[in-house]
């Protein structure tokens, strides 16, 4: 099973000639897109943990990867979370030579707009779980159109990246999905027309920041 230093080594590794075309076909993403995500692995652990827990996008973190000072990277990611910065604001922040003054300006903007400078509310675990499973379903359809067998693609990737833990982790995921399918079936929500919407139904809240 790979640890974070091993993952970071992947960001420095050279892809063999012709390798990117195979990766693009398997992942359904361009080499440039995948390279940007690989660069995120070079961020400090604290910055990556903050970004993951608060669902920051690659677009938010992209300019941070251009900074070489780790404490500055951590500080900028922390401010991004606390002040709910848009990606354009993060880009501007990363270009400033005086970070203290830049932070003062951003806080003043928030105050003048009547916005709270308190940390933004995190997505609830159930929202994050649903969003990621739904995204996985969409990606599965995309892979099926590209290389034909998303199950084999996933198996190969899991074995390569998770090693002996692959089977256990996949079984856990299968148990969750099978349980969810059983619950949905028993609830009678699977119909030709879909479930009726009650007056108490609320739309799922999504992150409307750009990225």
Bigger pLDDT: 193 vs 164: 164
Judge whether residue 201 has pLDDT over 50. Answer: no
- Spatial contact of 61 and 43, defined as CB atoms under 8 Å apart: yes
- Spatial contact of 209 and 86, defined as CB atoms under 8 Å apart: yes
**Cα–Cα distance between 1 and 163 in angstroms, integer?**
5
Q: What is the per-residue pLDDT for 143?
A: 77
Q: What is the pTM of this model?
A: 0.45
pLDDT tens digits, 131-152: 778 777 887 887 777 767 888 8
Where do runs of H (alpha helix) occur along 62-204? 70-82, 87-95, 99-112, 125-146, 150-162, 166-187
Domain boundaries, the chain: 1-42, 44-121, 125-187
Closest CA to 156 of 175, 143, 174, 138: 143
- Over range 113-122, report the average pLDDT: 54
């Amino acid at each position: 099973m790979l640890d974070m230093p091993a993952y970071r080594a992947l960001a420095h590794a050279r892809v063999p000639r012709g390798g990117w075309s195979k990766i693009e076909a398997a992942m359904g993403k361009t080499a440039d897109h995948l390279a940007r995500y690989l660069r995120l692995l070079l961020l400090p652990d604290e910055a990556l943990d903050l970004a993951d827990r608060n669902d920051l996008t690659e677009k938010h973190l992209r300019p941070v990867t251009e900074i070489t000072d780790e404490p500055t990277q951590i500080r900028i990611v922390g401010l991004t979370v606390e002040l709910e910065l848009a990606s354009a604001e993060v880009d501007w922040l990363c270009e400033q030579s005086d970070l203290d003054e830049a932070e003062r300006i951003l806080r003043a903007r928030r105050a003048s707009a009547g916005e709270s400078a308190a940390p933004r509310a995190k997505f609830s675990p159930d929202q994050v779980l649903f969003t990621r499973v739904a995204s996985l379903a969409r990606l599965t359809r995309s892979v099926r159109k590209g290389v034909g067998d998303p199950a084999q693609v996933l198996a190969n990737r899991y074995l390569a990246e998770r090693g002996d833990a692959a089977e256990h982790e996949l079984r856990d995921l299968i148990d969750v999905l099978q349980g969810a399918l059983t619950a949905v079936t028993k609830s009678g929500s699977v119909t030709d027309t879909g479930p009726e919407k009650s007056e108490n139904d609320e739309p799922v809240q999504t992150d409307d920041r750009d990225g």
